[in-house]
Homo-oligomer: A and B are copies of this chain.
Amino acid sequence: MFTNKLTGLLKIEHPIIQAPMAGGITTSKLVAEVSNAGGLGMIGAGYMTPAQIRDQIKEIKQLTKKPFGINLFVPNDFSYTENEVNKANQLLQPIRNHLQIHHDHTIDLPTSDQIIKTFNEQIKVVIEERIPVCSFTFGIPSEEVIADLRRNDVILIGTATTVEEAIEVEKSGMDMVVVQGSEAGGHRGNFISESHNSLIGLMSLIPQIVDHVSIPVIAAGGIMDGRGLTASLCLGAMGVQMGTAFLTCIESGAQQKYKEAILHASEDQTVLTRTFSGKWARGIKNKFIVEMEKYEDVLPEFPVQNTLTQPIRKASSSQQNADYLSLWSGQSPRLAKTQSVRVLFNTILTEAKNIQNNL
């Protein structure tokens, strides 16, 4: 249903892409079930090692014969001072104590070289494992990487938060673009525009981008059901990418406490924060954000802050405590349900068909 150029290129039945949520949410079962249901399952591989990626790909291939994709983070330049890191550590220490995290050693901070090396190895796995679709967040990879992937028939998807960014994605030679509205949960994908200038609602953003690019546009942000799917198509998108809707599915790997936080949240409880990772992201306001938000301006940038808070998020998760987890969520948590991927797909498609008939 709703087949078009996008479904043709991706070789999928329905223009529904499962957002590549990083941090263990996109289990092999989730990815495979989405692809088996006729959508495109995506591995959120931003934080994964090349070996972990290879293992998961093999696992997914056991569960589905349908195409699935992967998302990688484009490495960004970053810098930090010892002072900045000491200050952040000092601010985080009371929370580490509270969670009884004991360090005998200092946390190893990543270097740009390491991150670029890992990214190049991730790309190598994508090519070797013949993954048909690769999407990127936080920018556009180098010409060489794009050429390499294209030579290997990988369909490339960029992420944009403004018209200018979408134009750059098209110019780079990518095949389609995910348009991230201000409604979207998780990290902002802006890479040219400033985070706070690029918070454009999808009702505004999709038509303005569609008027400026010719590659297929995929709408992302707050889309949870057949209403969001059909609305996105009316606005000129050829498909949707849904995160929060899949996050609370039975097959998702999100912590139970995290799922519950979304299932009990209202639309006005998410905030933009850089306290967890150093990059702006939308999530449900919890104790960690409340305690750290006054220091938002002085925290180190991504991925440094992300590395510093990792033990906290890990301990919070294993202690079944949602207070110090990053509870990324879009602005439609009231529409989230506990259900299987299959039921979610059936509901979306039935609803979309009804809307189409009654418009």
Contact = CB atoms under 8 A, between A and B. Distances in A.
Interface string A203-242: 1111110010000000101111101101111111000000
Interface in A252-299: 266-269, 271
A355 B332 CA distance: 25
Contacts of A202: 201-203
Nearest to A2: B359
A86 interface: no
Contact of A204 (B183, B219, B234): B183
Interface of A: 162-164, 181-183, 193, 197-208, 211, 219, 221-225, 227-228, 230-236, 266-269, 271, 330-332, 334-335, 355-356, 359
Contacts of A331: 200-201, 204-205
Given A201-B183, A228-B235, A231-B234, A208 B359 contact: no
Contact of A208 (B181, B204, B267): B267
Q: How many copies does the complex hold?
A: 2
Contacts of A162: 266-268
Nearest to A334: B208
Given A198-B268, A266-B163, A234 B203 contact: no
23 contacts: A162-B266, A162-B268, A164-B266, A182-B182, A183-B203, A193-B268, A197-B269, A198-B268, A199-B199, A202-B202, A203-B232, A204-B332, A205-B267, A208-B267, A208-B332, A208-B335, A211-B334, A230-B234, A230-B359, A231-B235, A233-B359, A234-B355, A359-B359
A267 B200 contact: yes
A273 to B, nearest CB: 13
Contacts of A203: 181, 183, 201-203, 219, 221-223, 228, 231-232, 332
Contact of A231 (B231, B268, B269, B335): B231
Contacts of A205: 267, 331
A182 B207 contact: no
A163 B331 CA distance: 12
A1 to B, nearest CB: 11
Contact of A267 (B163, B233, B330): B163
Contacts of A228: 203, 207, 235
A81 B219 CA distance: 48
A15 to B, nearest CB: 12
A161 to B, nearest CB: 9
B223 A227 contact: no
Contacts of A236: 227
A160 to B, nearest CB: 11
A205 to B, nearest CB: 7
Contacts of A334: 163, 208, 211
Contacts of A332: 203-204, 207-208
A278 to B, nearest CB: 21
A243 B234 CA distance: 20
A178 to B, nearest CB: 14
A203 B335 CA distance: 12
A231 B232 CA distance: 7
A177 to B, nearest CB: 15
Contacts of A235: 227-228, 231
Contact of A181 (B164, B199, B201, B232): B201
Contacts of A181: 201, 203
